Amino acid sequence: MVLTATKVIDGRDHLLGRLASIVAKELLAGQTIVIVRCDEMCVSGSLVRNRVKYAQFRRKAMNTNPRRGPFHFKSPARMVWRTIRGMVHQKTARGQEALTRLSTFEGIPEPYDKQKRVVVPAALRTLRLKPERKYTIIGELAHSVGWKHRDLLKKLESKRKAEAAEFYEKKKEKGTLRKKAVESASDELNKVNEVLAAYGY
């Protein structure tokens, strides 16, 4: 990746570990990154296997006072954030600065739904996991361990998708009208086009 103002990554159907390692590298290089749709990211292995692994992880706590940590997040966005945190040397000043450049979200919230989103081919499940292998969607895992906002998110996402579809239809109509306008004005523009062609345009 080349450093730009902010990169918005669509986490849907990406493998968690692979995406996290690439994002960690970019954060340390100075890139600002936003990951949306963390709830649709994947982890290899079945849901049963991942639930067992998460249950073992949740048992890890401070012996004398568990309230002091380690803390086990239930929301998909925080799970992704925590995974990346472990890859940026977060106990150094450089790592802490890198973490300030990262944002993670379930679904696609307000400002990012109208911005260009990118994918990371090196982390896509379809390119990295054999077709017969089992995998777990992080949103399903989070729901099974106590995340309470899956239904709310589905409702908000369905509303966003309906609005996006409506916008896209209007955009197509505008494109069609523009094409017709160009065709109808092509006779008038012949002379102009000849002059422009002479100058190499």
Which tens digit of pLDDT belongs to each residue from 13-53?
999 999 999 999 999 999 999 999 999 999 999 999 999 99
Q: What single-letter amino acid sits at 93?
A: A
> Does position 75 have pLDDT exceeding 80, yes or no?
yes
- Judge whether 34 and 60 are in contact, CB under 8 Å: no
Are the CB atoms for 38 and 105 separated by under 8 Å?
Answer: yes
* pLDDT confidence of residue 151: 94
**Residue 55: C-alpha distances to residues 60, 142, 155, 169 (Å):** 9, 12, 29, 46
Contact 110/36 with Cβ under 8 angstroms?
no
In the predicted structure, residue 2 carries a pLDDT above the cut 70: no
d(CA 17, CA 53) in angstroms, rounded, equals 15
Place of tokens 């589905």: 154
Residue 6: CB atoms within 10 Å: 13
Helix, strand and coil content of the chain, in percent to the nearest 5, comes to 55, 10, 35
Query: From CA 108, how far away is CA 110, in angstroms rounded?
Result: 7
Write the pLDDT tens digit of every residue in 125-182. 999 999 999 999 999 999 999 999 999 999 999 999 999 999 999 999 999 999 888 8
- Alpha-carbon distance of 135 to 49, in angstroms, equals 10
Q: What is the pLDDT of residue 166?
A: 92
Whole-Å CA distances, 163 to 113, 114, 115, 174, 177: 10, 11, 15, 17, 21
Q: Smallest Cα–Cα separation from 15: which of 127, 145, 105, 142?
A: 127
Question: Per the confidence metrics, is the pTM higher than 0.75?
Answer: yes
Tokens at 64, concatenated: 């004398």
Whole-number pLDDT of residue 119: 96
pLDDT tens digits, residue range 76-129?
999 999 999 999 999 999 999 999 999 999 999 989 998 999 999 999 999 999
